[in-house]
């Protein structure tokens, strides 16, 4: 038999990296539900459910809370491509790889991109952000909430108000924090936000929840054009420059997700079921219970890591609740440890990018995987792999510390 015809049989893995993670079985079940036509009244009801649930998750009243088909960066691209008219100035505070991604996407939208940087492992003070906004006077500030590459979370509580003072829009990439850390879109005056399913929402990659307020809706509607084959008779295109992407055109997506249900792409049916289930799972647990669980499990993981004499990476005051950076100790081959974790224990942990490649491991405790058992299993496996590399650890210390310090 041809190699490519063999049965699909992925090995069982415990995904304790920075995402994707093992999906909740309820989401797997939703993914296997029967197809419906995209204008079937039951399906459009599911679309409306997603909008309602997404508003609750993001703590927003935004009418425009919907899904973009594609991985998390599809959400980022839809928002930035629709908001940025070529030549617009965009400021990106960069504190890791995903800030660089925002610069890169904004550049492809032909923005005049300005950025400020801070050492990876640190975040910005509100005063630094305000000074940069004052200096560059951007139309849009685009920032990551939790940058999984460094495991740091940028505090955002004050940034929205600062942006309003300088008449800038605030866009936040919350892919890695939604469902794991507190996020208040309206209270924090975030104008547009994008996320993904494959981290704290316990789903697979492939759907990007987004939300934006009326300020953003007004902005993008100034560029509203509708593709010829579906254009209503009386429609006059807006004065603004046409949005260069059809797929990521927010005004057309707004028509698709509103009562007019004007056909755009074919909604990824199974991903919509999955997204709806992800949202139901988090909201049924309750947002504050869910954040508490992420914080407690992370505390237990860090207690265990410290008990092995390992150093945590970055400014711990700003560590994400759902991903932990661990400095690879001197004399230990980081990749060999990761491979042993995978080969011998079936556990995946992450390495990192750029300046942090080979310097840190990243351990995720997110969504469905954010549980006591997984932390204990992961610590026990890591200890064994480290000892085989000649790193001296008191046997059992990590699990003991995680049990006694983390889970009271």
Ligand X SMILES: Cc1ncc(COP(=O)(O)O)c(C=O)c1O
What residue ranges bind ligand X (CB under 6 A)?
A: 19, 71-73, 98, 144, 147-148, 173, 175-176, 196, 205
If the CB atoms of residues 95 and 273 are measured against ligand X, the closer one turns out to be: 95
To ligand X, the closest distance from the beta carbon of 362 in angstroms equals 10
If the CB atoms of residues 72 and 192 are measured against ligand X, the closer one turns out to be: 72
Alpha carbons 65 and 50: distance in angstroms, whole number: 8
If the CB atoms of residues 272 and 303 are measured against ligand X, the closer one turns out to be: 272
| Residues 147/101, Cβ–Cβ less than 8 Å | no
To ligand X, the closest distance from the beta carbon of 206 in angstroms equals 8
Radius of gyration of the chain (CA): 22
| Residues 135/162, Cβ–Cβ less than 8 Å | no
Instruction: Check the CA dihedral 268-270-273-275 and report its sign.
Output: negative
If the CB atoms of residues 20 and 160 are measured against ligand X, the closer one turns out to be: 20
If the CB atoms of residues 144 and 159 are measured against ligand X, the closer one turns out to be: 144
Query: Which 8-state DSSP code applies to residue 317?
Result: G
| Residues 116/124, Cβ–Cβ less than 8 Å | yes
If the CB atoms of residues 99 and 138 are measured against ligand X, the closer one turns out to be: 99
Alpha carbons 379 and 373: distance in angstroms, whole number: 10
Query: Which 8-state DSSP code applies to residue 406?
Result: I
Query: Which 8-state DSSP code applies to residue 28?
Result: H
Structure-block tokens of residue 208: 């990007």
If the CB atoms of residues 92 and 303 are measured against ligand X, the closer one turns out to be: 92
Tell me which residue of 194, 203, 207 sits closest to 69, measured CA to CA: 207
Structure-block tokens of residue 130: 């305000």
To ligand X, the closest distance from the beta carbon of 171 in angstroms equals 12
If the CB atoms of residues 130 and 173 are measured against ligand X, the closer one turns out to be: 173
| Residues contacting 139, CB < 8 A, separation 6+ | 84, 88, 89, 90, 168, 169
If the CB atoms of residues 70 and 160 are measured against ligand X, the closer one turns out to be: 70
To ligand X, the closest distance from the beta carbon of 245 in angstroms equals 16
| Residues 138/83, Cβ–Cβ less than 8 Å | no
To ligand X, the closest distance from the beta carbon of 312 in angstroms equals 19
To ligand X, the closest distance from the beta carbon of 149 in angstroms equals 7
| Residues 402/301, Cβ–Cβ less than 8 Å | yes
Say what angle helices 250-257 and 72-83 make with each other, to 10 degrees. 110
Structure-block tokens of residue 330: 């001197």
To ligand X, the closest distance from the beta carbon of 104 in angstroms equals 11
Print burial letters for 343-363: b (CB count within 10 Å at least 16), e (below 16): eebebbbbbbbeebeebbbbb
To ligand X, the closest distance from the beta carbon of 194 in angstroms equals 8
| Residues 205/72, Cβ–Cβ less than 8 Å | yes
To ligand X, the closest distance from the beta carbon of 64 in angstroms equals 20
């Amino acid at each position: 038999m041809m190699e490519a015809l063999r049965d699909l049989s992925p090995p069982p893995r415990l995904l304790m990296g920075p995402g994707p993670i093992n999906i909740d079985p309820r989401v797997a079940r939703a993914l296997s539900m029967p197809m419906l036509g995209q204008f079937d009244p039951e399906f459009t009801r599911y679309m409306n459910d997603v909008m309602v649930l997404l508003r609750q998750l993001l703590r927003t009243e935004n009418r425009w809370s919907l899904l973009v088909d594609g991985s998390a960066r599809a959400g980022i691209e839809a928002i930035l491509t629709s908001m940025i008219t070529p030549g617009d100035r965009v400021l990106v505070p960069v504190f890791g790889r995903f800030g660089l991604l925002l610069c890169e996407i904004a550049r492809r939208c032909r923005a005049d991109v300005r950025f400020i940087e801070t050492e990876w492992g640190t975040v910005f003070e509100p005063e630094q952000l305000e000074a940069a906004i004052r200096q560059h006077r951007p139309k849009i500030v685009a920032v990551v909430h939790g940058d999984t590459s460094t495991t740091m979370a940028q505090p955002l509580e004050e940034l929205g108000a600062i942006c309003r003072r300088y008449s800038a829009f605030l866009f936040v990439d919350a892919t890695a924090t939604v469902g794991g850390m507190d996020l208040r879109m309206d209270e924090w005056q975030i104008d547009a936000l994008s996320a993904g399913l494959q981290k704290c929402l316990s789903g697979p990659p492939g759907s990007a929840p987004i939300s934006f307020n009326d300020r953003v809706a007004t902005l993008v509607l100034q560029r509203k054009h509708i593709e010829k084959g579906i254009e209503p008779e009386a429609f006059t295109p807006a004065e603004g420059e046409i949005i260069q992407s059809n797929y990521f055109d927010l005004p057309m997506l707004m028509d698709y997700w509103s009562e007019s249900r004007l056909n755009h792409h074919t909604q990824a049916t199974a991903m919509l079921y999955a997204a709806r289930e992800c949202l139901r799972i988090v909201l049924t647990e309750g947002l504050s219970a869910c954040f508490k669980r992420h914080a407690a499990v992370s505390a237990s993981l860090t207690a265990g890591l410290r008990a092995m004499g390992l150093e945590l990476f970055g400014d711990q005051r700003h560590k994400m609740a759902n991903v932990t950076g661990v400095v690879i100790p001197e004399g230990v081959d980081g990749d060999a440890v990761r491979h042993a974790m995978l080969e011998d224990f079936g556990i995946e942990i992450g390495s990192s990018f750029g300046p942090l490649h080979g310097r840190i491991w990243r351990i995720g405790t997110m969504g469905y995987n954010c549980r006591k058992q997984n932390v204990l299993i992961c610590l026990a496996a890591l200890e064994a792999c480290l000892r085989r590399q000649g790193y001296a650890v008191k046997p059992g210390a990590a699990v003991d510390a995680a049990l006694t310090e983390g889970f009271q």
